Amino acid sequence: MSETWVGKSLERVEDESLLRGLGRYADDLAVPAGTLHAAFIRSPVAHGIIRSIKTDNLPDDAVVVTGEDMLQLSRPFISGVKVDAPQYALAVDRVRYIGEPVALVLAANRYLAEDAADLIDVEYEQIPAVVDPEAAASGNAPKLHDGTDSNVLHEREFSYGDPGTAFATAAHVIETKIAYPRNSCTPIEGLNVLAHYLPGDDAYDVTANFQGPYTLHTVMARSLNVPGNRLRLKTPPDSGGSYGVKQAVFTYVVALGIASKIAGRPVKWVEDRLEHLSAATSSTNRVTTLKSAFGNHGKLLALDYDQLEDCGAYLKAPEPATLYRMHGNMTGAYAVEHLKIRNRVVVTNKTPTGLMRGFGGPQIYFPLERLMDLAAAQLGLDPIEIRRRNLVPSSAMPYRTASGALYDSGDYTGSLDRAAKEGGLQALVEKRKEARAAGRLYGIGCAAVVEPSISNMGYITTLLTPQQRERAGPKNGALATATVSFDPSGAITVNASSVPQGQGHRTVLAQVVADQLGVAPKSVVVTSDHDTTKDPWSISSGNYSSRFAGAVAGAAHLAAGRIRDRLARIAAADLNVTPDEVEFANGKVFAKSNPDNALPIVRPAAKAHWSPLSTPEDAGDGLRETEFWNMPELTEPDSEDRINSSGAHGFIFDFCGVEIDPETYEVRIDKYVTMHDAGTLLNPMLANGQIRGGFAHGLGAALLEKLDYGPDGSFITGTFADYLPPTACEIPHLTILHDCSPSPFTPLGAKGLGEGNCMSTPVCIANAVADALGKDIATLPLTRSNIATLMLEDEPAGRSQPQTPASPKATGDGHAMTGQGSTLVPATPEDLWAIMLDESKLAAVIPGCHSVKRTRDNAFSAEVTMGIGPVKGRFKVHMALSDLIEPKSLTLTGGATGPLGSSQGSGYVTLTPEADGTRVDYTYEARISGKVASVGGRMMDGAARTLINQFFARLSRQAGGQPPAQSPWTRLLEWLGLKS
Amino acid sequence: MRLLDADSRHTIRFQLNGKAVEGVAAPRMLATDFLREALGATGTHAGCEHGVCGACTIRLDGKAVRACLLYAVQLEGRNVQTVEGLAGHDEELSAMQTAFRKHHALQCGFCTPGILMSLSQLLEEEPGADEARIRDCLSGHICRCTGYHGIVAAALEVFEAHRRSGGESGRERTDV
C-alpha cells in the first residue's frame, strides 16, 4: 500500500528558499527598463476641500497625477451599495480622511519622487470632521458625501422567527452595548504595485501583491475602463503576509495604471509603514446593542442585534461585506429560533475599511459572548453551563440557523466538555479560588464560536431587498479552481487560484495531489504565482474567507482524481487490465491483482504527449485537468432573507485564566486553551500554525492594538511604536486541542480554521478580565491605561448595565498639547517687544526660518523648516499678534501647514522687567494633525520644548545679550558635543 | 568618518557575506535599499523603516543592527552579514534554519531573515540563553504570522544542541 500524505505534518517546500533569503516577493522581482517610481501626496487633514494643487516648483517634465486625471481617465469604484458617494483612486475635489491619496508624482527612484512630492503645494480648506460613528449617524453631523441624505448609507432590518413574542414573553431580557474598535493585521510587507499600460493593446499589465477576492478584478477593470481581459493581473510567487489586508492594493492598481498611461512608462510603488497604518485599510469599528431574551433555566430564546457599522470615509468594495459575512451565523454556536437584526452602515472621516482576518467575526462574537457572561451572572449560572445549555446539539446536524446558515457538522457539547476536561478547567477554577483568597485579581473567561469558511458569493446581496435582488439576478456559489497537469517528461505541476500569503498552500496541494496519483509530494511542483490572463480562475478566486482547505484543496483533489482516471485508461492497455484494476502507488501504476505488473507513472503520462495516437480514445488528449468546484449548498438569499453565508462551519471553544497586576495594570495570560473542530486536518503542523497566528492577532486586538484617531480625525498611531502588534514577550503558551467532524460538503472533509481565534480570543480574554475585575468590559483593547481607568472608576451601577467604552481619552487626545514656561532673557522688555513685532528680525529668531512676511498689521507669514521626531519638513506658518499691551503682554495665534501636517494653536506671553533683563512667561496650547501627529505623538512635547528654547536663545542673541540660562541638560549635550 | 557631499554619489566598498563588494550610492541612500537594489541581496527586507519591526536586521562586524536605520555609506569598510550568508548557495541550511523549517517557525517568511540574524548573534554571544532571554531577544522583531511559538521552539532546540555539543555547531555558520 502506498504511503498517504494528507493528514501528515510535512515540512514546507516553501521554506528552503525563504530561509535562505531567496524568496521572490513583489519588491524582489525585476522591473521593465525605464520604470518610474511613484510617491503619493496624501491628505494631512481629516476633512477638507482641495482648493489648489500647485506644481510650480517642479521641473517641467515631472509627471504629477491628480484626482482630475482620475475623473478624466477612470471611473469610480463600484460598491455593494448603490449610493452617490463615489470614490476614485485619488481624491477628487475633497479629502475625507488623513492619508487619503490626493496626487502622485513619478521620478527615476523613490528618493527623487519623495523630493518631488515635498515640492507640491496642496491648499486645503479644512471642514469639520466626524470620527465617532454614533455622532456621524446623528442628524447634525458634518456630512461626508453631498450626494447622500445622511452619513448612514445603508439600513436594513431583518426578522426571523417571532422575536416580538419571544421578547414580550421572556422571563429575562438582558442587554449589552459594545463599541468594537478598529485594528489591522499589518503584514510586515506593505502593498506593492508595478503597473504597465500597453497603448498598442489598450491594456494594463500589472503585478501586485494582491490576495483576492477576484471580485475586485472586475472592480479594477471597470474603474480602468477596460474589459477584464485587458487587465492582466499577476501576483508574485511569495507574499509577505496579508490576513485580508492586501485586498486593499486594488485602488492603487488603478492609480498606478492611470499614472502609467499618462507617463507612457511602467510605474512602481512600494507602500511604506506610515502609508500602510494610516491609509491601507482597517477592520470596521462597530457599535452594537445586543438584546437577548432568556427563558427559565438559562434557555436563550431570541437575539436582537442593532449594529452600527463604521466603514470609514467611503464604502470601498467589498464593503459593507464585513457586516454581512456573518449574517447566517448571527446566533453563533447556539440554537436560537428567533432573531432580529437592524443593520446600519455609516461613513466617518477615517480610513475606508476592508478585509481583515476574522472579517466580521470579532464584531459579532464580542457582544454575543459578553452577553452570555452577563446573562450567566444575572441568572446565577456558571458561564460554561449557560453556553452548554444552548449549544446546537449534534443530533441537529446539519443544522439550519434562523437566518439561513447550514452548519455542516460538529458535536459542540462534546468538544466543549473535552476541552474543559483535557484543558484542565477544574484546576484553573481551583487556582482562581486560591488566588482570590490571597487577594489577587484572577479571572477565567471562555467563548464558544462557530467559525464560517468558504464565503457564498451571494451573501453580500442580503443587503438588498428581495425585490431588488429579483431585479439584479441571483448571486451564489463559491467556485474554487485548481489545475493538475503532466508535462511530456511525466512530471506533475499544480496551479490553483489560491494566491497564498504564507500559509503553505504549495506544500498542502503537493500532499493532496500526491495522494491521488501515488507519488511523493516532493516530486510535485506547485506554483504559487497567478496570472489572470493565463491561469484558470473565477470570480470567487483568491485567498480569503479561509477557503483554501475546504474549497481549493478539494478542487485540486478532484482535478488530480480526473487526471488519475485518464491515466488509468492509458495504463490499462499497457498493463493488460481494465482501467478500474489500475492502482497508483510509489510512483508506479500497477495491476491491483498483480503488483509486479507495473510501470513507472511517467510512462503512461509521457505516452499521452509523445504517442497520442496510441492512447485509448476515452483517455482524451493532453494531460491537464482543471476543476471548477462549486458547492450546491451555497444558494442565493431566499425571499425571506435567509442566507447560507458560508459553505463550512467549524467550532471553537476557548477558555483562559488571566491575572491582573494591581500596580502595573498589566493583564497576564496565565493559561489559554483553544479547542477546534475544523473537520479533516490536511497538515496538522500547518493547521496549528494558522491557529497560533490567528490567536496572536486575537490577543493583539484584545490587549494592545487599536488604530486610533483624535476627535478631529487626526490619525495618531502611524508607527509600530504607537500601533503595537504583540511581540514574543506578550504571547503566552497556547494549548491547542482538536476534534474532527469532517464536513460532508467539502471534498476532503476540511473546513477553514485560520480566522477563528480572531473571533474567539478577544472576547475570551475580555470575559476573563471582566471576571477578574468584577466589571463589565464594553470595548478593547485592554491596555494598561484602559485597565487603570476601569479599576480606578467608581463601581458601575450593575454588571448588566451598558457601559460607555472605557477611556477613549487614554490615547484620543495624544495629538493635543499644552505647555507653559518661563525664561530670563538678558534684554529689556522694550527691546524684545521691538524684535517680536519686526518681521526682518523675527526671521533670525524663529528656528529654521527661511523668510518672514508681514501680511497685515501684526500678522505675519513665514516659511519654516521644523523637525519633530523622525520627520522633518518645510511648513508655511501664519501668525497674528493680538491683545497687545506694549511692552508687557501679547497673545499669539496661528498655525503651520506643510506636507507633514498642520497645527493650530495660541500662546500668551508676558514680559516682566527684572534686574538682569526680562522674565518671559508663556503658556500655549496647540493641536497637531497630519503625518507629524501620526508618527511623532510621543515626541511632540519634547520637540515643542526644544523649539521654544531655541527661540529664546535666538531672541537673546538678537537682543544683543547672551543666551538665556541653560538647563543642565543643554549643558550636558554641549559638553558631549551634540549641541552647539 | 568621511565628509560627504550631499549632491554626489560615493563609492562604498565592504565585505558582504565574506566577499568584497563595491557600489555607488548617494549619502542619503539607506543600507536596506543599497543591499537590495545595488547589490541584489534581496533577502534583507524593509518592513517599517523606522527601526521597530526588525525585518531588515543584518550583522555589522558581528553586531545585529537595523539596516533601515543605517545609510549605505556607513557600511564602508565593514564586515556585513545578511541572511544570504547564513548558508551559502551550495551549502546546507544552518542548524537554526533547519530548526525553523522543522518547527514551522515561518509562514510568509518576510520577517524571518531579520530574526535569523538576531538569533545568530545571540547564539554566538550567549549560548546559555534560556527561553526568557530568547524571547527578550525576539522582542525586537515583529512576526505577524506565527505567534512566535515555532520560532521560540526552534531557537530552544538549537541552543540546547549547541550547549550539548560544546558550542561548535552554531559558530561554524556565523564565522564570516
- Whether residue B104 and residue A185 make contact (CB cut-off 8 A), yes or no, is no
Residue B47 belongs to a domain: yes
**CA-based nearest residue in chain B for residue A12:** B101
CA distance A596 to A577: 13
What is the CATH number that goes with domain A26-128+185-280? 3.90.1170.50
- Whether residue B145 and residue A720 make contact (CB cut-off 8 A), yes or no, is no
- Whether residue B109 and residue A689 make contact (CB cut-off 8 A), yes or no, is no
Provide the 3-class DSSP secondary structure of residue A67. helix
Q: Chain A: nearest CA to B70, how far in angstroms? A: 14
Q: Which of B62, B85, B108 is the last residue of a domain?
A: B85
A727 contact residues in B (CB cutoff 8 A) = 138-142, 148
CA-closest candidate to residue A869, choices A789, A814, A809: A814
Residues in chain A, pLDDT under 70: 1-2, 794-815, 869-870, 961-980
Tell me what pLDDT residue A844 has: 86
Sheet holding A300-310, edge to edge: A152-160, A338-346, A300-310, A285-294, A172-180
Choose from B110, B122, B141 for mutation: most chain A CBs within 10 A.
B110
Q: Which contacts qualify for A472-476: CB closer than 8 Å, 24 or more apart?
A: A474/A636, A475/A636, A476/A634, A476/A635, A476/A636
The answer, for B165 touching chain A at a CB cutoff of 8 Å, is no
**Phi and psi dihedrals of A296, rounded to 5?**
-70, 160
Identify whether the C-beta of residue A360 lies closer than 8 Å to the C-beta of residue A167.
no
The reply to whether B127 and B78 lie within a common domain is no
The answer for residues whose C-beta is within 8 angstroms of residue A611's C-beta and 6 or more apart is: none
Q: Which of B51, B85, B119 is the last residue of a domain?
A: B85
Residue B80 belongs to a domain: yes
**CA-based nearest residue in chain A for residue B145:** A693
pLDDT tens by residue, A790-823 = 999 854 444 444 443 443 333 334 467 888 888 8
DSSP alpha helix (H) spans, A775-875: 784-792, 809-812, 829-836, 839-845
- Whether residue B47 and residue A28 make contact (CB cut-off 8 A), yes or no, is no
Identify whether the C-beta of residue A6 lies closer than 8 Å to the C-beta of residue A515.
yes
The reply to whether B66 and B44 lie within a common domain is yes
- Whether residue B52 and residue A238 make contact (CB cut-off 8 A), yes or no, is no
Q: Count of A–B CB contacts within 8 Å?
A: 170
Residue B1 belongs to a domain: no
CA distance A834 to A949: 20
Residue B103 belongs to a domain: yes
Nearest to B147 among A501, A504, A731 (CB): A731
Question: Is the Cα torsion angle A765, B48, A281, A229 positive or negative in sign?
Answer: negative
CA distance A876 to A860: 11
The answer, for B173 touching chain A at a CB cutoff of 8 Å, is no
The domain locations on chain A are: 26-128+185-280, 134-138+149-183+282-460+636-812, 479-629, 816-975
What DSSP state is assigned to residue A579? G
- The reply to whether A479-629 shares the fold of A26-128+185-280 is no
Q: Which of B60, B85, B110 is the last residue of a domain?
A: B85
CATH of the domain at B159: 1.10.150.120
**CA-based nearest residue in chain B for residue A18:** B109
Provide the 3-class DSSP secondary structure of residue A925. strand
A18 contact residues in B (CB cutoff 8 A) = 106, 109, 112
Provide the 3-class DSSP secondary structure of residue B65. strand
CA distance A543 to A239: 12
**Residue B33 Cα to chain centre, angstroms:** 15
Choose from A9, A20, A25 for mutation: most chain B CBs within 10 A.
A20
Question: Is the Cα torsion angle B136, B138, B140, B145 positive or negative in sign?
Answer: negative
CA-closest candidate to residue A11, choices A683, A691, A694, A556: A683
Identify whether the C-beta of residue B151 lies closer than 8 Å to the C-beta of residue B105.
yes
Dihedral class, residue A21 (left if φ above 0, else alpha if ψ from -120 to 50, else beta): left
Q: Can you give the length of chain B in residues? A: 176
Tell me what pLDDT residue B43 has: 98
- Whether residue A502 and residue B109 make contact (CB cut-off 8 A), yes or no, is yes
**Residue B129 or A793, more confident:** B129
Q: What number is the ipTM of this complex?
A: 0.95
- Whether residue B110 and residue A721 make contact (CB cut-off 8 A), yes or no, is no
Q: Chain A: nearest CA to B144, how far in angstroms? A: 6
A938 contact residues in B (CB cutoff 8 A) = none
Tell me what pLDDT residue B1 has: 52
Tell me what pLDDT residue A13 has: 98
Task: Say what the alpha-carbon torsion angle A112, A114, A118, A119 is, to the nearest 10 degrees.
Answer: 30
Tell me what pLDDT residue A974 has: 53
CA distance A630 to A747: 10
User: Residues 88 to 147 of B: which have CB under 8 A from any A CB?
Assistant: 93, 97, 100-102, 104, 106-113, 116, 134-136, 138-147
pLDDT tens by residue, A269-321 = 999 999 999 999 999 999 999 999 999 999 999 999 999 999 999 999 999 99
- Whether residue A725 and residue B93 make contact (CB cut-off 8 A), yes or no, is no
- Whether residue A870 and residue B106 make contact (CB cut-off 8 A), yes or no, is no
- Do β-strands A231-235 and A203-208 pair in parallel, antiparallel, or remain unpaired? parallel
**CA-based nearest residue in chain B for residue A870:** B50
CA-closest candidate to residue A911, choices A824, A851, A839: A824
- Whether residue B116 and residue A721 make contact (CB cut-off 8 A), yes or no, is no
Write out the three cell numbers for A499: 494566491
Provide the 3-class DSSP secondary structure of residue A602. helix
The reply to whether B51 and B118 lie within a common domain is no
- Whether residue A729 and residue B93 make contact (CB cut-off 8 A), yes or no, is no
B9 contact residues in A (CB cutoff 8 A) = none
Q: Please say if the pLDDT value at position B169 is more than 60.
A: no
What letters, b where the CB count within 10 A reaches 16 and e where it falls short, cover A739-749?
Answer: bebbbebbbbb
CA distances to A453, A575, A743, A803, A855 from A398, rounded to whole Å, are 15, 44, 10, 38, 76
A868, β-bridge pairs: A871
Choose from A10, A11, A16, A18 for mutation: most chain B CBs within 10 A.
A18
- Whether residue B47 and residue A688 make contact (CB cut-off 8 A), yes or no, is no
Q: Please say if the pLDDT value at position B175 is more than 80.
A: no
User: Domain spanning A134-138+149-183+282-460+636-812: which CATH class is it, in words?
Assistant: alpha beta
For residue A172, the surrounding DSSP H or E stretch is: strand A172-180
The answer, for B72 touching chain A at a CB cutoff of 8 Å, is no
CA-closest candidate to residue A557, choices A599, A597, A515: A515
Identify whether the C-beta of residue A780 lies closer than 8 Å to the C-beta of residue A764.
no
Tell me what pLDDT residue A954 has: 85
A10 contact residues in B (CB cutoff 8 A) = none
In A408-459, beta strands by DSSP E: 441-455
Tell me what pLDDT residue A57 has: 92
Q: Candidates 1.10.357.10, 3.40.605.10, 3.40.228.10, 3.30.365.10; correct CATH number of A479-629?
A: 3.30.365.10
Identify whether the C-beta of residue A752 lies closer than 8 Å to the C-beta of residue A550.
yes
DSSP per-residue string spanning A85-142: ----SS--SEE-STT-EEEEEEESSHHHHHHHHHH-EEEEEE------HHHHHSTTSP
B107 contact residues in A (CB cutoff 8 A) = 241, 502-504, 689, 693
Identify whether the C-beta of residue A728 lies closer than 8 Å to the C-beta of residue B151.
yes
Look up the pTM and report it.
0.93
Max distance between CA atoms of chain B, in angstroms, equals: 54
With bands split at pLDDT 50, 70 and 90, how would you rate the model's confidence at B176? very low
CA distance A131 to A714: 9
What DSSP state is assigned to residue A662? T
Identify whether the C-beta of residue A643 lies closer than 8 Å to the C-beta of residue A457.
no
- Do β-strands A441-455 and A582-585 pair in parallel, antiparallel, or remain unpaired? unpaired
Tell me what pLDDT residue A916 has: 86
CATH of the domain at B35: 3.10.20.30
What is the CATH number that goes with domain A816-975? 3.30.530.20
Write out the three cell numbers for A833: 517687544
The answer, for B44 touching chain A at a CB cutoff of 8 Å, is yes
Choose from B32, B94, B98, B149 for mutation: most chain A CBs within 10 A.
B149
Q: How many structural domains are present in chain B?
A: 2
For residue B25, the surrounding DSSP H or E stretch is: strand B19-25
- Whether residue B139 and residue A501 make contact (CB cut-off 8 A), yes or no, is no
CA distance A66 to A636: 40
Q: Chain B: nearest CA to A742, how far in angstroms? A: 25
Sheet holding A594-600, edge to edge: A582-585, A588-591, A594-600
The answer, for B42 touching chain A at a CB cutoff of 8 Å, is yes
Write out the three cell numbers for A649: 462551519
pLDDT tens by residue, B51-97 = 999 999 999 999 999 999 999 999 999 999 999 999 966 789 999 99
CA-closest candidate to residue A405, choices A347, A497, A334: A334
B116 contact residues in A (CB cutoff 8 A) = 19
Identify whether the C-beta of residue B36 lies closer than 8 Å to the C-beta of residue B47.
no
What letters, b where the CB count within 10 A reaches 16 and e where it falls short, cover A155-176?
Answer: ebebbbbebeebbeebeebbbb
Average pLDDT over residues B126-152: 98
Provide the 3-class DSSP secondary structure of residue A626. strand
A241 contact residues in B (CB cutoff 8 A) = 107-108, 110, 144-145
- Whether residue A188 and residue B135 make contact (CB cut-off 8 A), yes or no, is no
Nearest to B109 among A238, A693, A734 (CB): A238
Other residues' Cβ atoms within 10 Å of the Cβ of residue A869: 17
- Whether residue B139 and residue A728 make contact (CB cut-off 8 A), yes or no, is yes
B110 contact residues in A (CB cutoff 8 A) = 23, 25, 187-189, 240-241, 502
Range of the domain at B53: 10-85
What letters, b where the CB count within 10 A reaches 16 and e where it falls short, cover A436-453?
Answer: eeeeebbbbbbbbbbbbb
